[in-house]
Structure 1
Amino acid sequence: MSRPKRADMVDSLAGFRAEKTEPSVPYGLLKAARKTGHLNLSGRGLTEVPQSVYRLNNDTPEEAQQNLSFGETDRWWEQTDLTKLLLSSNQLTHLSDDIRLLPGLTILDLHDNQLSSLPSALGELQELQQLRLSHNQLRSLPVEVCTLKNLCSLTLQQNLLESLPEELGQLENLTELDLSNNYLKGLPSSLGRLTCLQKLNLCHNKLSCLPDCLAQLKNVKVLDCSNNQLTDIPASLSEMLAMEQLYLRHNKLRLLPKLPAPLLKDLYVGNNQIEQLETEQLACLTAISLLELRDNKIKTLPEQITLLKTLTRLDLTNNDIASLPASLSLLPNLKVLLLEGNPLRGIRRDLLTKGTTELLKYLRGRIKDKPERAEEGHTAMTLPSQARVNIHNIKTLKLLVYSEKQAVNIPDELFDAAEDQGITTVNFSKNQLTAIPSRLLEFQSSVSDINLGFNRLTCCFPDISKLLQLIHIDFRNNQLSDLPPEMENLTKLRSITLNYNRFKSFPEVLYQIVSLEMVLLGNNQVNGVDPCRLIKLVHLSTLDLSNNDLLNIPPELGLCTSLSCLKLEGNPFRTPRTAIVAKGTDAVMEYLRSRIPT
């Protein structure tokens, strides 16, 4: 008798065959991500992104299928959209178009994978603010990425890019762009439309010239063009008025670039082919603090090196310098001078090993006092304190110094000697002054830097507001508890140092000075700060509030996106925890933003 046949024969071996399964993600992570909006899958060996991740906010979670009663912490229907997805350090070779199912993403981290292309669906993530694509194998950037209007940070270093789309200029809110370690030979002209850009990294590419469109980037503070094939720097680069740090190491430059950028503090031009320093180029560096010239072919230092009166560090390692001008010792702020690897003659080797201070002292000893002439009656004038007036400082460096004298007042003879000399820098620190000398007003058309630190000032006189050219003020180690409201007229002021005074609150007038870049208020008694007013200081990059009486840190402080250095240690607040503060500014700012009520 034959066995009846069935139309739907059962596969008897089905239970023994291995089913194709997608990479698994711990259910607890997915559950937590629905509540926090953050999912970290970095370093899990993933070769593809699981569907459960893409559909996190679309599919009903498992607990909804179960007949259970839920407490307040288990309400699956109270979920938030995924805003932060970290997929770095995996083995991803592609990204699915299903990424469009996560339209709420603001941060997408794909760095350190094996991606050779990106899906056009990325362009649908219109809330995206940070896109991290470094250390992949990308050969091109899809134009859809250039439609992400809210994108602030785009990191593409260590890929295989040879060109960039002209549409890149559409990312008008971009503040950080990292294109380093690629194969770029040119840049799109639309790059100049990225007017919000503050950091631009172009190092380790194949650029032989820089386009003039860079001049339109008025807010860039840090520009890195190291390790390219540049032979010249266009003069238009000087129009980047906000630039503070410029890296040009390992290129083919023969001259120091002529860059009258008013805020340029750090210039790195090591490992080039520079043979001489010209007065015209040196005179442009009016705010320079660090100048790196190592591994070039410089033979002599011109006397005009004394023009760099703000210079604190000069690196001349491995050049061809045989002698040093004694005038080098007249640089008032020079703290570090590096000379190893030069064929110096006339200076003992043991002197070079004793450090900068001893070397400058030796060079000062080589400056011979010139006999005074009748028309220079003040040249060797002796003041009551037996201190000589330094005419070279006054006439050449425009510097008026009367420091470390423990004086109760500044002698009139000193002001008389500086009359009509266009003094730009005044240093009356480390005395016993109880009031700001009124004769400072004689320099109101020229003075830009005042140091009155380490005195006994109890108040700041309102007339300081008449010194309209002031850029830097140093009032550290005094007895100040307030600043006059008239100081809001100081529209050029970029930094103010108030450490070790008696301030119990953040000085009201500082909220009004929008040009401020640095406020140092450490070691006072400040008990609060208003982030809503602080956020209006759009140029503020450094804020020191360490060792004060802050009982709480308002989360809105995290919205002060211009801050790159925030010091809070030594205050009695409980949150953020010490471990977070120890990680630095970025960690603190991210923590504060995460605490802002939604």
Structure 2
Amino acid sequence: MSRLKAVAERNPQAGFRAERRDCGASVPQGLLKAARKSGQLNLSGRNLSEVPQCVWRINVDIPEEANQNLSFSATERWWEQTDLTKLIISNNKLQSLTDDLRLLPALTVLDIHDNQLTSLPSAIRELENLQRLNVSHNKLKILPEEITNLRNLKGLYLQHNELTCIPEGFEQLFNLEDLDLSNNRLTTIPASFSLSSLVRLNLSSNQLKSLPAEISGMKRLKHLDCNSNLLETIPPELAGMESLELLYLRRNKLRFLPEFPSCKLLKELHVGENQIEMLEAEHLKHLTSILVLDLRDNKLKSVPEEITLLQSLERLDLSNNDISSLPCSLGKLHLKFLALEGNPIRTIRREIINKGTQEVLKYLRSKIKDNGPNQSDSIMETAMTLPSESRVNIHAITTLKILDYSDKQTTLIPDEVFDAVKSNIITSINFSKNELCEIPKRIVELKEMVSDVNLSFNKLSFISVELCVLQKLTFLDLRNNFLSSLPKEMESLIRLQTINLSFNRFKILPEVLYHIPTLETVLVSNNQVGSVDPEKLKTMENLITLDLQNNDLLQIPPELGNCVNLRTLLLDGNPFRVPRAAILMKGTAAILEYLRDRIPT
């Protein structure tokens, strides 16, 4: 009876007050009974204009069933009920919360997103155990200072409100790891705003003209999103944030690319839609770990030769700049994606650019002057004629490490093609635009070397085990074939990062893909895929890009919103009705947030 004693000490009348408060049909007794057992209560989407008293007093009042003299089993004794630790009242019509909130001191999760709240009660300071507070998509204009008393708070979600300032004392939230202030009306960030435990900070879609230098005190910060603000400069102290991995600065007014001498872990830098005019070696030399560099929609006129310093770079977006030529050294990078649309490039024919990334890189590599002693020999061998009356580019083999036998309309790759490799090292194979019905068996001879294979535009209806032994394979292009399944043996491709399966005959996402943990890019557009498994997708921790355009998806599971690592999710051209087109147009982050908000609890 210790629980009843505790209640009585707080309120002598409470232990004898029956739970007959205004619950009505909006909160069924069965729901309250279940909440007493589990400690969790979900009242989302019930059209509530206020929180019923029976909810605030769920830990205080004697249950209705106890007053009906019902017998209780050992597992249902009401005096041993669990304190409420999780309360979800999202997607309602709440305009305010009362100070009765203090009657739920055990809460660790409070979710009130998608309501019409204009303020929070000062009693929120008494929720000392709170770890996650979601007040996003409301009408908050200010935050009470009492919110800084929530010392155990780890996640605070305030996006899509009307906040114009942040209260002083925020640094007291020393356990806070995730803070979302996006889509508000903030014009400044206080200098005291330095949260030592913060890992993720979202300040996007505000009216910030600058960031305080003190932000560099967030030594654990990995993800900083400042998209869609009015930033003209970035404080140099930002360069000292050693843990920073993802930095988003799109849609601002930056004229210079910041330098990042201490950001050795920076993997993604997004500075598209700014006013950057120049890219210099100083900007690039410290980005040793960068995988994604987004420079689209700026005013760049050239790309420096020093771009080769970015040896880890995989995705480079230069769309919509003023670039008229590219350095041949760009061909030395192992890019998987290169965007050049909207530039007045005159040194590369449009037809080559239209063929995609690998063709552009191949062209640039072919233009690199080879001053080695065997240059003349290589040139003579280039035109070597094989008995098959087709030519093998020996220069590509010896200099560019590419075995290219594409666009021959052949049903078999002649042995002479593989014989031409001899003792050379080959990293890429291009057998695209032929009429192959099966993968050449001799491809296994290159299993210790090859990292890129292009078998697109053939007539493959199955994948043989020969391909599955290429354990160094990182890039595989199988688009425009007749494939409807992939073999389980592909699990052995333990380095595969990108696979293109577009324009085939898949009706489901191949099961084996879920078991290749290194995959970063999966392209399955223009198939007949009718469903995806969000739980299995979530296990693909490295997956960044998923293209499901033009398939047969009738619905998008809300749980897909939990795949927070996705940076690009393409869903256009499917017959589902929600999310609506307006949501899709907002981009991947908006789609994932929309889906997350609709996950049933």
TM-score (norm 1): 0.62
| Alignment partner, residue 55 of structure 1 | 53
Quote the Cα distance in structure 2 between the aligned partners of 1:483 and 1:492: 17
Letter in 1 for 2:599: R
Root-mean-square deviation over aligned CA pairs: 5.6
Alignment equivalent of 1:143, drawn from 128, 141, 148: 148
Q: Does 1:493 align with 2:496?
A: yes
Amino acid in the other structure paired with 2:512: V
* Corresponding position of 1:19: none
Do the aligned partners of residues 391 and 31 (structure 1) sit closer, same or farther apart at CA in structure 2, a change above 3 Å counting?
farther
Shift of 1:96: 4.5
Deviation by residue 1:20-71 (Cα, 9 ceiling, x = unmatched): xxxxxxxxxx977547823588xxxxxxx97x446374699xxx9xxxxxxx
Q: 1:106 aligns with which of 101, 107, 111?
A: 111
Report the AA paired with residue 55 of structure 1: Q
1:302 is aligned to 304
Where does 1:179-194 land on structure 2 (aligned, <5 Å)? 181-184=186-189, 186=191, 190-191=195-196, 193-194=197-198
Q: Partner residue of 2:10? A: none
Task: Flag the 1:291–1:529 CA change in 2: closer, same or farther, 3 A.
Answer: closer
CA pair 154-591 structure 1, distance change in 2 beyond 3 A: closer
Using a 3 Å threshold, how does the CA distance of structure 1 residues 138 and 327 change in structure 2: closer, same or farther? Answer: same
Which residue of 1 is the match for residue 164 of structure 2?
159
Query: Of 422, 439, 450, which residue of structure 2 is paired with 1:436?
Result: 439
Q: Distance in 2 between matches of 1:403 and 1:175?
A: 51
Q: Secondary structure at the match of 1:142?
A: helix
Q: Distance in 1 between matches of 2:573 and 2:259?
A: 41
Hey, what does 1:593 align to over in structure 2?
Answer: 599
Correspondence for 1:8: none
Residue in 1 aligned with 2:483?
480
The residue correspondences of 1:178-577 to structure 2 (distance < 5 A) are 178=182, 181-184=186-189, 186=191, 190-191=195-196, 193-195=197-199, 197=200, 201=204, 204=208, 206-207=210-211, 209=213, 216-218=220-222, 220=223, 224=227, 227=231, 229-232=233-236, 240-241=244-245, 243=246, 247=250, 249-251=252-254, 253=256, 257=260, 264=268, 266-268=270-272, 270-272=274-276, 274=278, 276-277=280-281, 281=285, 284=288, 287-288=291-292, 290-292=294-296, 294-295=298-299, 301-305=303-307, 313-315=317-319, 317=321, 324=325, 327=328, 334-338=338-342, 375-376=374-375, 377-379=377-379, 381-382=382-383, 389=393, 391=395, 395=399, 402-409=405-412, 416=420, 423=427, 426-437=429-440, 447-526=450-529, 529-540=532-543, 542-544=545-547, 565=569, 567=571, 570=574
> Residues 245 and 495 from structure 1, CA distance in 2 versus in 1: closer, same or farther, beyond 3 angstroms?
farther
Distance across 2 between alignment mates of 1:337 and 1:557:
30
Q: Report if the CA contact (8 A) 2:524-2:547 is conserved.
A: yes
In the TM superposition, what whole-angstrom CA distance separates every residue of 1:567-593 from its partner, at most 9, and x where no partner exists? 38646xxxxx62546454448735862
CA displacement at 1:143 relative to structure 2: 1.7
Structure 1 counterpart of 2:9 = none
Deviations 1:55-96 (A, max 9, x none): 374699xxx9xxxxxxxxxxxxxxx976215569x8x8xx65
Q: Which residue of 2 aligns with 1:131?
A: 135
* Structure 1 stretch displaced more, 507-516 or 461-470: 461-470
Distance change in 2, residues 1:200/1:451 (3 Å) = farther
> Contact 2:520–2:542 at 8 Å: present in 1 too?
yes
Contact 2:149 2:173 in 1 (8 A): no
Q: How far did 1:477 drift?
A: 1.9
Contact 1:554 1:592 in 2 (8 A): no
Give 1:6's aligned residue.
none
Instruction: Check conservation: 1:581, 1:588, Cα contact below 8 A.
Output: no
Aligned to 1:37: 43
Change (3 A) 1:416 1:305: farther
CA distance in 2, matches of 1:537, 1:566: 17
Shift in alpha-carbon separation, 1:555–1:228, aligned structure 2, 3 A: closer
CA distance in 2, matches of 1:445, 1:355: 30
Q: 1:84 aligns with which of 87, 90, 102?
A: 90
Shift of residue 184, structure 1, vs aligned partner: 1.8
Q: Distance in 2 between matches of 1:273 and 1:495?
A: 32
Over 3 Å counting, the alpha-carbon distance change for 1:155 and 1:492 in structure 2 is farther
For residues 364-408 of structure 1, what are the alpha-carbon distances to aligned partners after superposition, in whole Å with 9 as ceiling and x for unaligned? Answer: 89x989799861223350265766738589747x66655444344
Task: Determine the C-alpha separation between the residues in 2 that align with 1:194 and 1:354.
Answer: 48
Paired residue for 2:16? none
Label 1:579 to 1:357 Cα distance change in 2 as closer, same or farther (>3 A). closer
Deviations 1:423-476 (A, max 9, x none): 3x5544333233335565566566544432222223323354444444443322
**1:184 and 1:497, CA in 2 relative to 1: closer, same or farther beyond 3 A?**
same
C-alpha distance in 2 between matches for 1:97 and 1:126: 16
1:97 pairs with one of 96, 99, 111 = 99
Q: Kindly indicate whether the alpha-carbon contact (under 8 Å) linking 1:162 and 1:183 is maintained by their aligned counterparts in 2.
A: no
Which secondary structure state, in structure 1, belongs to the residue aligned with residue 490 of structure 2? Answer: helix
- Tell whether the 8 Å contact from 1:200 to 1:224 is kept in structure 2 after alignment: yes
Q: 1:160 deviation in Å? A: 1.6
Identical aligned pairs, as a percentage? 25
CA contact (8 A) 1:96 1:119 kept: no
Relative to structure 1, the CA distance from residue 156 to residue 449 in structure 2 (aligned partners, 3 Å threshold; closer, same or farther) is farther
Structure 2: 5+ residue runs without aligned partners?
Answer: 1-22, 29-41, 59-63, 65-85, 585-590
- Equivalent pairs, count: 507
CA distance in 2, matches of 1:593, 1:498: 29
Displacement of 1:240: 4.2
Call closer, same or farther: CA 1:437–1:159 in 2, change over 3 Å.
Answer: farther
Alpha-carbon offset, residue 291 of structure 1:
2.2
- Unaligned runs of at least 5 residues, structure 1: 1-29, 42-48, 65-79, 572-576
Secondary structure class of the residue paired with 2:378: coil
Q: For residues 192 and 420 of structure 2, what CA distance do their matches in structure 1 show?
A: 55
